[in-house]
């Protein structure tokens, strides 16, 4: 699957918007992720409104790219469906990577914008979206058409791979 090898964080986007089909395809890919005991604790907020994306960019000092993004996806865990706090993080991480790779396969660029465990970022998201107590926000993914050619980093390091014994 070339999208995995082509994926790299993209923080600058063109003015071109994403189609409804592209957005649905990305989010659907997220829902295909594995989750512990198949709890599927996830929910998402799909943000496409430019003003809202601009406001959302203030949730973290490292999320300025949301100002240019055409889609933001906020990852949420529903405590009523969770297997455990740590499992929520794993399940939402699996979901996130699926969405990042799917967007790449559609020719789009994206980046994961960290929230949890930075409590002030989590609190910002809770307040911003007026979330009920049982819904916990974790982080945000940013998407758009890449402004520049992608240059994935070469991270392959055979020395870090141990076969049968350390
Ligand atoms: C948990 C997590 C949090 C991240 N948070 C941010 C962030 O807040 N802002 C940002 O610009 N990039 C963020 N990134 C992207 C990383 O900086 C990026 O993945 C890393 O530098 C490797 O580069 P690559 O994605 O191009 O391979 C985050 C990635 C992960 C997995």
Q: Per-residue pLDDT tens for 91-138?
A: 999 999 999 999 999 999 999 999 999 999 999 999 999 999 999 999
Taking the centre of ligand 1 as the mean of its atom positions, its distance from the CA of residue 10, in whole angstroms, is: 9
CA–CA gap between residue 125 and residue 140 (Å, rounded): 9
Reported as a single tens digit per residue, the pLDDT across 24-59 is 999 999 999 999 999 999 999 999 999 999 999 999
Q: Under CATH, which number does the domain 13-148 receive? A: 3.40.109.10
SS3 84: coil
DSSP letter assigned to residue 9: B
Residues with CB under 6 A from ligand 1: 8-9, 11, 60, 62-63, 111-114, 153
Q: Contact, 104 vs 60, CB < 8 A? A: no
Element containing residue 55 per DSSP (H, E): helix 50-56
Q: Residue 28 CA to chain centroid, in angstroms?
A: 13
CA–CA gap between residue 73 and residue 89 (Å, rounded): 16
């Amino acid at each position: 699957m070339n999208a995995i090898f082509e994926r790299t964080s993209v923080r600058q986007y063109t003015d071109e918007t994403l189609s409804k089909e592209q957005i649905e395809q990305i989010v659907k890919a997220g829902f295909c992720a594995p989750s512990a005991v198949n709890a599927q604790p996830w929910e998402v907020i799909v943000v496409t409104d430019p003003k809202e994306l601009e406001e959302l960019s203030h949730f973290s000092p490292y999320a300025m790219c949301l100002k240019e993004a055409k889609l933001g996806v906020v990852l949420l865990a529903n405590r009523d469906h969770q297997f455990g706090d740590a499992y929520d993080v794993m399940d939402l991480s699996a979901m996130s990577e699926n969405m990042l790779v799917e967007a790449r396969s559609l020719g789009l660029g994206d980046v994961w914008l960290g929230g949890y465990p930075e409590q002030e970022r989590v609190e910002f998201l809770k307040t911003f979206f007026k979330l009920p107590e049982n819904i916990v926000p974790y982080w945000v993914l940013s998407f758009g058409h890449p402004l520049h050619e992608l240059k994935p980093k070469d991270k392959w390091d055979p020395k870090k791979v141990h076969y049968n014994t350390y």
